[in-house]
Structure 1
Amino acid sequence: MTFRLRAAHISDLEHLYEMAKLTGGGFTNLPADRAALTRKLERADEAFSRTEDVLGDDIFTLVLENTDTGQVRGTCQLFSQVGQQWPFYSYRLTTLTQQSQELDRTVRAELLSLVTDLEGSSEVGGLFLHPGERAGGLGLLLARSRYLFIAMHRHRFADRILAELRGVIDDRGGSPFWDGVAGRFFGMTFQEADYFNAINGNQFIADLMPKHPVYVAMLDEEAKKVIGVPHPSGRAAMRMLENEGFAAEGYVDIFDGGPTMTARTDNVKSIAASTPSRVSATDLDSGERALIAAGTLGTFRSAYGMREIADDGSVVIDAACAELLEVSEGDQVWSVAR
């Protein structure tokens, strides 16, 4: 396999723009807007260049590269702390129980409350794989490489981590959740609001969104059905997150109602199981299949390969992976079983 994940740079703008046009909407972290993508890549360059090994307000953008053709065929992002430039809003689904002794009746009402509980968390997001490459485990390479990046730069990320999954979008590109909740107050279609959020941030939500809880029972059936439900294309991503130890804890996206998954950063399986090793040789013919990464910040690279960890903690990897990662004997790599 000739694919590797690497740090993104300004020169990747056109590749990202072409992929952004394929997302179909509801993908805030990858807007089909050159100016917005340029700002993201500029922030990523700043983050990769920052020398202080401490938690900041960073965006790290990675791209999936076919090293044979030079084409970029996927991307993902990491946010060190959400809610630093503007509030990070979510709806939290809760239950209010009320009882009438006179009627001998108990009523349980579900509520959607606007909260900023998740501010300060790190986020993994912006994962998109070109439709022509959705085979061969490349989605898993994109997803899990983010966790190796976090393990290799642990001090730059928070103790809690989240992932937002895109909610249900209908055939017209609209959102039943938006139409049933926020759209009633804004006079904007979902696509208009989603695009505005991607370009300008969501402060307009704070300015105009009612602060009182929304009773789910008062929503139309189409909106109710999609609360906390991922887009069909995101079901596999949800399973991958659950396999890593993420859980849905009642938080949903304020735009499309998609689930927000959370975990303690150090408990994410690929982070907890990752291992740093010195390369002792690059001539392995067979061994354990693994995800292997090398480099630091702007020189980060990851790829699939084979490894064999010795008793002294050193590792032998295969020649093809060593070439993709540009490592040789004596270099340090991080790895986790595939």
Structure 2
Amino acid sequence: MSFRVRPARVDDLDALYDLATLTGGGFTNLPADRSTLGAKLEKSRAAFARGETPPAGDLFVFVLEDAKTGAILGTCQVFSRIGVEQPFYSYRISKLTQVSPELGKTFNTEMLTLCTDFNECSEVGGLFLHPEARSGGLGVLLARSRYLFIRRNRPRFADKVVAELRGVIDEAGGSPFWDAIAGKFFGMDFKEADAFNGAHGTQFIADLMPKTPIYTAMLPPEAVAVMRQPHPTGRAAMRMLEQEGFSGEGYIDIFDGGPTMSVATDSIRTLRHAKELTVAGIVDSHGAPVMLAAAGGLDDFASGWAHVAIDGDTATIDADSAAALGVAVGDRLLAAER
């Protein structure tokens, strides 16, 4: 096992900041601000240290680590419940048809309504991989490890999981969708608003965002064109979400118009098909298939690709992976097909 996903530590701040500077903006959950990232890591540390609790406003931050060198090449996050401290806002898209018999005309449009329909759901987000590490299944490892973590700690999470995908941003770091709607009410450009949201939360949205439905027919074409569209670098992430069972339900992000997807927690493919196993043996190497494996519960959680041979409810695992995951004979292992 060359790479593993583990809980982020407070001393990962420098590595996390370096990753944040590479995102190009629009990553609300990964702002390039040391103070904000430091607060996130401290909140995550407290969440990992807390015993089993019902769904609350916990944040769990993970990093992708080279098990041999200790280099940090990616990160992701899981929120046990959103909308606890501040509302979780989205735009809900609905269709409107109006008919005039006198004119013999039918008018079809869509409407955007500000809502908090996903309050009290869980959320997966903040996934970012270093540009030089976007191969070898590392993005899939990061993404799917979150679902094994939820499986291992199921009582701490809600019955629905949400994922917001970054929307289309232009080369200057601006958002056509933001400029068409919210930018007119906040007096700041997209980058400023995105940074403010990452540091201070969503209360300013409640304070100034228009509350009345917005007709998309009144928006400029460039804003309508990017609605529901992920950032080009997020298309692979969208496909991975779809493979896990996530789907769009007519919701988009209020900042950049990117798609908001959701799924019933227990319907997530990786979570549903993962097998609870007992480690019966550790071998130097064998021809067993590569599987996604995870061990530990909270602060000792670790996951990665491993050679796992399953026999009933027991398994053998290769020695390198066992060391990286911190498992010994008799320990519990969670494994899912690649």
TM-score by length of 2: 0.98
What amino acid is the match of 2:269? K
- CA distance, structure 2, for counterparts of residue 233 and residue 148 of structure 1: 24
Aligned counterparts of 1:243 and 1:332: Cα–Cα separation in 2: 27
User: What secondary structure sits across from 2:299 in the alignment?
Assistant: helix
- Who is 1:116 aligned against? 116
Q: Is the CA contact 2:52–2:155 (under 8 Å) kept in the aligned structure 1? A: no
Shift of residue 326, structure 1, vs aligned partner: 1.6
Range moving further from structure 2, 207-216 or 104-113: 104-113
The aligned counterpart of 1:88 is 88
1:184 — aligned with what?
184
Structure 1 window deviating more from structure 2 (146-155 vs 322-331): it is 322-331
Q: Which residue does 2:152 correspond to in 1?
A: 152
Report the counterpart of residue 301 of structure 2 in structure 1: 300
Q: Distance in 2 between matches of 1:272 and 1:296?
A: 17
Secondary structure of the residue aligned to 1:32 is coil
1:310 counterpart residue number: 311
Deviations 1:48-100 (A, max 9, x none): 11113321110001101112211111100000111111111000111012222
Name the CA distance, whole Å, in 2 between partners of 1:56 and 1:50. Answer: 11
Q: Secondary structure in 1 aligned to 2:286? A: coil
Corresponding residue for residue 274 of structure 1: 274
CA RMSD of aligned residues (A): 1.0
Structure 2: which 5+ residue stretches go unaligned? none
**How far off is 1:329 after superposition?**
0.7
Residue deviations 1:34-58, cap 9 Å, x none?
1101110111011111113321110
Q: Flag as ranges the 4+ runs of structure 1 deviating above 4 A.
A: none
Determine the structure 2 residue equivalent to 1:227.
227
The one-letter amino acid of 1:308's match is: A
For residues 96 and 50 of structure 1, what CA distance do their matches in structure 2 show?
47
- Identity within the alignment, %: 55
Q: Comparing 297-306 with 51-60, which one deviates more in the overlay?
A: 51-60
By how many angstroms is 1:103 displaced?
Answer: 2.8
CA distance in 1, matches of 2:96, 2:115: 16
Aligned equivalents of 2:233, 2:52: Cα separation in 1: 38
State the distance in 1 between where 2:319 and 2:137 align. Answer: 20
> Is structure 2 residue 127 aligned with structure 1 residue 127?
yes
Give the 3-state SS of the residue equivalent to 1:228 in structure 2: coil
Q: Which amino acid aligns with 2:291?
A: A
Partner SS, residue 126 of structure 1: strand
1:93-115: CA deviation from partner (whole Å, max 9, x where unpaired):
11012222333333222101101
Residues 299-319 of structure 1 deviation map (CA, whole Å, 9 limit, x = unaligned): 1000101212112x1111112
Task: Give the counterpart letter for 2:193 in structure 1.
Answer: A
Counterpart-to-counterpart distance in 1, 2:80 and 2:323: 30
Which secondary structure does the structure 1 equivalent of 2:83 belong to?
coil
- Cα distance in 1 for partners of 2:289, 2:132 equals 28
2:119 aligned with 1:101: no
Residue 262 (structure 2) pairs with residue 262 (structure 1): yes
| 2:111 match: secondary structure | strand
Tell me, yes or no, if the aligned pair for 2:19 and 2:130 is still in contact at 8 Å: yes
Query: Match of 1:171?
Result: 171
Count of residues in Structure 1 that have an aligned counterpart in Structure 2: 337
- 1:18-57 aligned at under 5 Å gives the runs 18-57=18-57
Partner of 1:63: 63
Greater displacement, 56-65 / 105-114: 105-114
Work out the CA distance in 2 between the residues paired with 1:162 and 1:282.
Answer: 37
